[in-house]
Amino acid sequence: MPLFAERAAADSVTAGLFEDADFYGFDIHAFVVMPEHFHLLLTLPALCKISELLDRIKSNAARRTLHVCSECIAAEMDKRRRLNSRKVWQRGFRSVQIDKESAFLQKIEYIHHNPVKRGLCLHPCEYAWSSAIFWEQAKWNGYRLVLSLDERVACWPEAVRACLQRSHPTGVAR
């Protein structure tokens, strides 16, 4: 059974991403928690290594999931840890530095459409463990924007440029 297939586990990981963002000081621009992995578009804090940050996020997610999951998921996590030297996650991750507005928007679309491609929903906004609904409703504060959808769509290019000038966001898979 996939690790985050249970609602409580996916809820815990999703909430944990926001807690980690506050604690470690990174900005989340888009995310999706899938049944067995997550995708995250973020801006790193100054002097932070992506590998160290992802290790912390993954460790925290595994710990949170163990506290809320059923016996079935707990047994699967325990089995994975025993087989992988006590590790829940696959080794490594894929990180891409994004320095163009078009690439930034493409990564957001890729992240949000991941559950649709997997057949978990028909529209990105139907998937509960994603930033898609917040983007759709113009309530996402990845840029600290709280505008109507029309206003946000009109200013997206400017907002993306401002974000890219601040720091290069990094797209992370796994």
Mapping DSSP to helix (H, G, I), strand (E, B) and coil, where does residue 36 land?
coil
Contact 53, 174 (CB under 8 A): no
Mapping DSSP to helix (H, G, I), strand (E, B) and coil, where does residue 46 land?
coil
Q: Considering only CA atoms, which of 51, 37, 35 is closest in space to residue 89?
A: 37
Q: What is the pTM assigned to this prediction?
A: 0.70
How many angstroms separate the CA atoms of 43 and 26, rounded?
Answer: 6
Tell me the domain boundaries of the chain. Answer: 7-173
Q: How far is CA 63 from CA 21, 112, 153, in A?
A: 16, 25, 38
The pLDDT tens digits of the residues spanning 73-82 come to 666 666 766 6
Q: Considering only CA atoms, which of 58, 53, 51 is closest in space to residue 16?
A: 58
Question: 7-173 belongs to which CATH class?
Answer: alpha beta
The pLDDT tens digits of the residues spanning 121-172 come to 999 988 888 888 777 766 665 543 344 444 434 443 444 444 444 444 455 5
Higher-confidence residue: 3 or 135?
A: 135
